[in-house]
Amino acid sequence: MSSGELPIGRRVARWRVRRGMTQQMLADRLGKSKSWVDKVERGARRLDRYPTIQQIGEVLRVDPMVLLGQRRPPQQQDAGTPDGVDGIRAALARYDRALGNPVSPVEVRRQVEHAWLSFQHAHYAQLVRALPGLLDAAQASSGRDLLVQAYRITASVLVKLGEADLGWLAADRAMGAAGGDALLSASAAVSVGQALRALGRHRLALAVTCAAASHLGPHHAAVQGTLLLEGALAAAGCGEARRAAELTGRAAGLAAKLREDTQRTGFGPAAVELARVVVAIELGDTEAAVHGHAVVMRRDGWRRLPLEHRGAYLVDVARAYLQIGDLRGAARALVDADAIAPAEIRCRPLARTVIADLAHRHPAPAGVARLATLVGLTR
């Protein structure tokens, strides 16, 4: 079913998820109850007044006509979102591996390694420009592992930029390229899980990641542990606190054997601690999340995680502070995220949503006005 054929409530739900909002967050911005939003999204309540649709469009930063299903936005993107997503879409649409001149596996591997480093340093604008060429080169090469990695990097960036549907496509391509290889399939499943969570499909993400983790042995602890953490986050999204705790516990056991976080996967003891905080945020246990965050910040392992990981985590922490009404704490987390990985603040729709919430508070905390200007928000 195309987006134009969806009921308006489903379109509202899709854009809400894409903006990283919960039903409660949308309700608060609209001055409505969470029950009202839930009924609208389920179609139990008709949404037939244009002023209300226009108000929802303003909150979700989408043309009201798009919510009505009458047209798609020609180039709808958030301020700060890097140009080039259309180039990635075109590259994913090419199925003929012989389109370009063959590139040596050594050169493709060099490009893949550089792309991973760019992602870990949150250089998203640079990466978006490079990905179409990388995808072409990987598709023309004979290296299955390189193609899987190229698709995985693409999926990760697209999810960051709020293009979860396209990210899921890239992740699915990674799974197909794995060709049944257990380790490659498990690595691809990490990206599938991330994309499904971004789409709000938490139960599917839980099933995919847990199934993939069960097929790996202890000698692939980093990938298995990453899958378990993805599964824990998905379980939290489903409201399954006990399952989330079980999966993070298993991941912690694997991380203890590694002693420190691995460079490529970012998995290790510090990653588990961060995941526990984010799980608590997703479950609505904000007091536990804030307490856990204070512990994380006192540990040395935090500083060894990739910049992208730290920046994304701080955006999530800002959400926790917002939920308990600590506006200064939320602002501090966002300012720190901007200092560590500016693109996490300036390119991600989720960060824009949190900044917008803070900017509308009275008085807005120090530093928020600058961030709002950086991401293109106006009062």
Note the pLDDT tens digit of each residue in 5-28. Answer: 578 888 899 888 888 788 888 888
**Does the structure show a pLDDT above 60 at 84?**
yes
- DSSP H or E run through 345: helix 342-346
Q: 284: burial class by Cβ within 10 Å (0-12, 13-18, 19+)?
A: middle
What residues does CATH 1.25.40 cover in the chain? Answer: 82-199
* Banded pLDDT at 344 (limits 50, 70, 90): very high
82-199 fold: 1.25.40
The radius of gyration of the chain from alpha carbons, rounded to an integer in Å, stands at: 20
Q: Smallest Cα–Cα separation from 18: which of 3, 33, 28?
A: 3
- If DSSP codes are grouped into helix, strand and coil, which group holds residue 375? coil
**Does the structure show a pLDDT above 90 at 261?**
no
Backbone angles phi, psi at 50, to 5 degrees: -60, -40
The token pair that represents 309 in the structure block: 């990981």
Mean of the per-residue pLDDT values of the chain: 87
**Does the structure show a pLDDT above 60 at 236?**
yes
**Does the structure show a pLDDT above 70 at 131?**
yes
* Banded pLDDT at 4 (limits 50, 70, 90): very low
What residues does CATH 1.10.260.40 cover in the chain? Answer: 3-67
50: amino acid identity, one letter: Y
What was the pLDDT predicted at 75? 42
What was the pLDDT predicted at 308? 95
Distances (CA, A) of 163 to 4, 53, 223, 336: 18, 23, 24, 25
Q: Which of 93-97, 101-105, 267-271, 362-366 has the highest mean pLDDT?
A: 267-271
What was the pLDDT predicted at 159? 94
Of 374 and 243, more confident: 243
- For the chain, the 3-state helix, strand and coil shares in percent, each to the nearest 5, are 70, 0, 30
Q: At what angle do helices 144-160 and 85-92 cross, to 10 degrees?
A: 140
Correct CATH for 3-67 of 1.10.3720.10, 1.10.420.10, 1.20.120.1200, 1.10.260.40: 1.10.260.40
